[in-house]
Amino acid sequence: MTALIITESYFGNTAAIADAIAQALGGPGAMAVESLPVADAPVLVPPGTDLLILAAPTHDYSLPRPATRARARQRGARHGGQEGDGPGLRDWIATAEPVPGVKVVTVDTAVKTGFMLSSAAKTAARLMGAAGFENVRRGATFFVSDLSGPLEPEELLRARAWATTLAAGLKSLTKVRAA
Ligand SMILES: Cc1cc2nc3c(=O)[nH]c(=O)nc-3n(C[C@H](O)[C@H](O)[C@H](O)COP(=O)(O)O)c2cc1C
């Protein structure tokens, strides 16, 4: 099985979560995983991709926009490839072409406030569905302790466990389909 992870990140926290997910998915005997910042992501999902994970920070309860990117820069955003004005996942999704059979799962990072009107992962899942992807689901939110991080304790472990569970679910689904 093959997985592609596409990530948007301004302070490195979502990128760290994506790395942890990639490590867990790509463990021994597991999937072939490619993990790319959105600026380097292919315009088209490569043929043969079974799992597409989109990871982004929550900005104003949604996916980042040019105005929120500018606010991130004012707050010292420094993560590689994202200092400029995009592209973000919102831009990538806007030109994405649906691929039959690919399972899409969206994840995000956010500050733990106890109240989340919406989130980057929720928006990304909605936009991917609107773009025509058929098998889309919102995955987990991972928490940072403040706007620029760091991640809350144990979030990298939680991301690895989350990805391991996701991979196990995909494998059993494949087995059922093959039977
Ligand atoms: C402009 C801006 C708006 C934000 N809005 C929200 C928000 O609505 N809810 C929230 O929980 N966190 C919000 N945050 C915090 C981000 O979620 C946090 O910066 C992000 O998780 C860090 O991930 P990154 O290091 O990958 O950029 C916001 C941050 C910025 C810069």
Domains and CATH numbers, the chain: 2-178 (3.40.50.360)
**What 3-state DSSP class applies to 86?**
coil
- pTM reported for the whole predicted model: 0.94
Most confident of 60-74, 110-124, 127-141: 127-141
Distance CA 176, CA 34 (A): 26
Q: What angle do CA 96, 101, 102 make, to 5 degrees?
A: 50
Distance (angstroms) between ligand 1 centre and the Cα of 8 equals 11
For residues 8 and 112, the model is more confident at 8
Calculate how far, in angstroms, residue 103's C-alpha sits from the geometric centre of ligand 1: 26
Centre of ligand 1 from the C-alpha of residue 62, in Å: 9
Q: Spell out which residues line ligand 1, taking CB within 6 angstroms.
A: 9-15, 57-61, 68, 71-72, 75, 109-111, 113, 144, 147, 149
Q: How confident is the model at residue 80 (pLDDT cuts 50, 70, 90)?
A: low
Find, among 90, 84, 87, the residue nearest to 59 by Cα.
Answer: 90
Positions of E strands within 65-134? 103-111
What pLDDT is attached to residue 29? 72
DSSP 161-176: HHHHHHHHHHHHHHHH
Give the residue whose CA is nearest to atom 8 of ligand 1.
60
pLDDT value at position 45? 97
Q: What is the DSSP letter of 138?
A: E
Rg (CA), the chain: 15
Residue from 147, 151, 156 whose mutation best tests the ligand 1 pocket (most atoms within 8 A of CB): 147
Mean pLDDT of 153-164: 97
**E strand or H helix at 51, and its extent?**
strand 51-57
| Dihedral sign for Cα atoms in the order 72, 74, 78, 82 | positive
Mapped onto helix, strand or coil, the DSSP state of residue 44 is coil
